[in-house]
A and B are shown apart, each in its own frame.
Chain A
Amino acid sequence: MIAEALAAQKEGWRYTPAATLTGPDFKPAGVPESILPLAGRVLCPVGFHRAALVNGRWEAKHAVLKLPDGVTVEPLARASGLEELLGRLVPDDLPLAKIASAARDGFVVRVARHARVDRPIHLVHISQATAAAQSSQARVVVVLEPGASAELVEETLSFGDAPSWKNVRSQVELGEGSFLRHHRIVREGTQGRLTVGLEVTLASRARYESHALNFGGLFAREDLRVRLEGEGAECALNGLALLGGSEFADHHSIVEHAAVNGVTRQLYKAVIDDKARYVFDGLISVKPGAQKTDAQVYNKNLLLSEEARVNTNPEFKILADDVSCKHGGAVGQLSLEALFYLRSRGIGADEARRLLVYAFGSEMVDRVALEPLKLALADALHGRMPEGNL
């Protein structure tokens, strides 16, 4: 079923190695015999509200939720009153999200009118596959009512040596004047596969700040769909992928400006080493009547090896006449001038390279406003710096 669904997706999957998903004989993941502790495994600092899915099922042992009034975080299996949202059709070009729609469990986060979450909410997606190849499906629903605000950190991880695949359908509904910071940290390891279809809709003056941060994994693809439905809505889409070995990451996004005065600022960066591959496809679509749209989409890539590959395609489709739209893509290598400058001051060649790579990536980490998370991400960035053999 999955192979057929993907085979039908010629256009958006041209550079995506679907065989990584269809190759292993994935079986639906069961409940693992023992639940591994999260301490030392998650990157996100403790002290946040926390909930976790293990193999697509809500794991009560991991939940740490003392939420203020007006805020709920619950398993999908128990949530009610979401029929309309859950029943919404998936776009035809998101076949995997369609499959994930059938998931019975997941996260549901709701923030009531004008409520504010006191601390960030950490949602952990864990695969635990030890023997055979296992796949799991999950849904994520986030609803912010008008004027509400929240900070969300989703982290995806794989434990165990066997192939695993998490397939997630996420829906984010942002009411009028609401504000969501949404961080997605991918750390999948050498056997982990992740596919996410994330649909976000913004009502008037809603703001969505997104950080798609990929710290490695065999295969990770995110299809992000943002629809600025109400006037004056704003989204800031930030992305970073740090890839080495034979890792693959794919950031597909479509931002639809459907109302006047919408703002989009999109910048995704990738550092690609060894035989890793990265795909960026970012379309901003300005609908008729979406005047005064102010949108930018940029993708910048740093290739660190001869065999590293990137396919980048930032683009616009504009059907309104009074708009400001800018886009650009860049693929480069480390500046030899900068390397020599650093070395001429006594900084060793390897350290100079790491310093330059770090500097390239740190721009995206610096955009994370949550201070404890930013520090953890900076450490993780350090940990992903290339070794001396460049």
Chain B
Amino acid sequence: MLKITNLHAKVGEKAILKGLSLTVKAGEVHAIMGPNGSGKSTLSYILAGRPGYTVTDGTAEYEGKDLLAMEPEIRAREGVFLAFQYPVEIPGVSNKYFLKAAYNSVRKHRGEPEMDAGAFLKFIKEKAKSVEMDPAFLNRSVNEGFSGGEKKRNEVLQLAVLEPKLALLDETDSGLDIDALKVVAEGVNRMRDPKRAFVVVTHYQRLLDYIVPDHVHVLSGGRIIKSGGKELALELEKRGYGWIEDKVAA
């Protein structure tokens, strides 16, 4: 589904990714772990198409197409979804309207008819219930005044509504207490599907207790320096990142 080969990227003049390669197949859950500043968020943003990054070398193919050549909205309509580490507040745009606009633009792209307001409201209320979100949040402005946990829950709600093929979760666990973390993880687990892949970017192993990955990768210095199964995450939790980085340096 996703094939990243030798990806190099910089922000301004600063090189962040330095030859990253990663292959993700449908149905898989990959965790990308790494210390702060290793390039985790940069990777998520580049895959989603955020402006401000320059890819200097390498490729990212999504379902055989050049992902990096697509506008951000096309990536989304094609089934790529980024759950933001810091979801953006948008005063004046109701959450409900935002979700409907997003949902219908994806449907339109797929050649499906747009859903009318009444049907959508019913649909969205069910989805909100599934992530234990108070329906009152649907009428509020997007993320405005939401707590950290509510914002993350809203990201998972969008995930549930848009039903992407490839979901990138960027530090979805940051700022969550254990109860909120469980709700978010359950929301994600419910979405696991043989046709859908997840890339879970996280600093801590804690999230992976609830979203159990098939593969774990260590990102450091802009490259993946070690890959393994879920046990690698436990080892990282115990021993930190230093031992791998030392080994690679040696």
Contact = CB atoms under 8 A, between A and B. Distances in A.
Interface string A345-366: 1111101100110111011000
Interface string B40-68: 00000000111100000000000000000
A15 interface: no
Nearest to B143: A341
A343 B84 contact: no
A46 B58 CA distance: 63
B93 A343 contact: no
Most chain A CB within a 10 A radius of its CB, from B49, B90, B103: B90
B191 to A, nearest CB: 16
Interface of A: 335-338, 340-349, 351-352, 355-356, 358-360, 362-363
Interface residues of B, number: 30
Given A346-B109, A349-B71, A349-B73, A341 B90 contact: yes
A349 B71 CA distance: 9
B250 interface: no
B92 A346 contact: no
B73 A355 contact: no
B90 to A, nearest CB: 5
A208 B84 CA distance: 45
Which 5 A-B residue pairings sit nearest by Cβ, starting from the closest? Answer: A359-B92, A346-B76, A345-B102, A341-B88, A343-B72
Contact of A348 (B73, B84, B98, B141): B73
B72 A344 contact: yes
B101 interface: yes
B199 to A, nearest CB: 15
Nearest to B86: A337
9 contacts: A336-B51, A341-B84, A343-B76, A344-B50, A344-B72, A345-B102, A346-B102, A347-B98, A363-B91
Nearest to A352: B73
B73 A347 contact: yes
A365 to B, nearest CB: 10
A356 B101 contact: no
B77 interface: yes
A335 B93 CA distance: 13
B205 interface: no
A360 B92 contact: yes
Contacts of B71: 343, 349
B82 interface: yes
Contacts of A360: 92
B142 to A, nearest CB: 8
A335 B142 CA distance: 14
A369 B89 CA distance: 26
B162 interface: yes
B183 interface: no
Given A340-B50, A340-B51, A351-B101, A345 B158 contact: yes
B106 interface: yes
B72 A340 contact: yes
B90 A338 contact: yes
